[in-house]
Structure 1
Amino acid sequence: MKVFGKEIGTDIKFPPFIDKFVGKLLPNKNKDTEELVTIPSTNISDGEEAFELSLALPGLDKKDVKIEVNDNYLVVSAHKEQSHEEKNKNWVRTEFVSNSFYRAFELPSNADPDRIQAKMKNGRLDIKVGKDKSLSNKRSIKIA
């Protein structure tokens, strides 16, 4: 299959910043329960000052979402439970819905975990991970 004029196959090479931000699933800590876990769609870009991630989280509020840095991973997770009950003269119907997700992104070597900002609006979570310029792979070499 061709994408942007290039043949795509199993030997795809991504830019290094995307390799580092490939999402990873973390093991379920509670093996006694089965829980529906979804993986939200994520857009990732490499800006001059920061890496930017946008996650589609329809139906979630910012109070449902948790963001943390664990070892060298940016972990985004959420859990939301809803219930609905209808009472009628002769019957009661109750529905429970429980949804959760998590994504873990390995931070690139030039990411600064102390410079992370997040905002959420209309089901979209935007995260900026600042870059540490002192760890840049680019430098000038003076010729003697």
Structure 2
Amino acid sequence: MKVFGKEIGTKIKIPPFIDNFIGNLLPNKNTDTEELVTIPSTNISDEEKAFELSLALPGLDKNDVTIEIQDNYMIISAHKEQSHEEKHKNWVRTEFVSNSFYRAFGLPPNADPEKVQAKMKNGRLDIKVGKAVNASNTNKIIKVD
């Protein structure tokens, strides 16, 4: 099996940074409504100067997405509500759909929470987390461009 272009087998172990970036799934399912909770596909790579994450978020735009750094976790969440109404002579039909997701990634020790950039285009969220020698434990909200 290949992970990030490297053959993984009995001789080579999965890179340790992946263990730190394993997403903790904390779904936000509300059984009283028709809210759907999804878990977006995520690609993670360890580059020379930064960790890079790409999430597939079809149907969402940057205003639907929130990215926060809290206690060495990067929390990515989104919520979107849509409605459709049909009116005819004798009846009206209204449909409501609510979608949300929540995903938390533990940041590796050499990740710098002060060097996080996020960009969204065509339903794909790209995040770069810079590397640092002495990263601090910082809470902040990341702006999505």
Q: Partners of 1:33 and 1:132 in 2: how far apart? A: 44
* 2:63 match: secondary structure: helix
- Residue of structure 2 in register with 1:118 after alignment: 118
Q: Partners of 1:6 and 1:117 in 2: how far apart? A: 30
- Residue of structure 2 in register with 1:17 after alignment: 17
Alignment of 1:72-111 (within 5 A): 72-111=72-111
Q: Following TM superposition, by how much is the alpha carbon of 1:41 offset from its aligned partner in structure 2, in angstroms?
A: 0.2
Give the TM-score taking structure 1 as reference length: 0.80
Q: Partners of 1:134 and 1:70 in 2: how far apart? A: 17
Conservation of the 8 A alpha-carbon contact between 2:27 and 2:101: no
Change over 3 Å in CA distance of 1:39–1:128 after alignment to 2: same
Change over 3 Å in CA distance of 1:82–1:76 after alignment to 2: same
- Residue of structure 2 in register with 1:65 after alignment: 65
- Residue of structure 2 in register with 1:138 after alignment: none
* 1:54-97 deviations in Å (ceiling 9; x for gaps): 00000001000000001110000000000010101111010000
Letter in 2 for 1:78: A
Gaps spanning 5+ residues in structure 1: where? 136-144
Q: Cα RMSD between the aligned structures?
A: 2.3
Letter in 2 for 1:65: V
- Residue of structure 2 in register with 1:141 after alignment: none
Change over 3 Å in CA distance of 1:82–1:43 after alignment to 2: same
Gaps spanning 5+ residues in structure 2: where? 136-145
- Residue of structure 2 in register with 1:40 after alignment: 40
* 1:109 match: secondary structure: coil
Q: Following TM superposition, by how much is the alpha carbon of 1:32 offset from its aligned partner in structure 2, in angstroms?
A: 7.5
Q: Following TM superposition, by how much is the alpha carbon of 1:36 offset from its aligned partner in structure 2, in angstroms?
A: 2.4
Change over 3 Å in CA distance of 1:15–1:33 after alignment to 2: farther
Q: Matched residues, percent identical?
A: 74
Q: Partners of 1:72 and 1:93 in 2: how far apart? A: 46
Q: Partners of 2:27 and 2:15 in 1: how far apart? A: 27
* 1:13-62 deviations in Å (ceiling 9; x for gaps): 5211111101002364x978564211100000000000000000000010
**How many residues matched?**
129
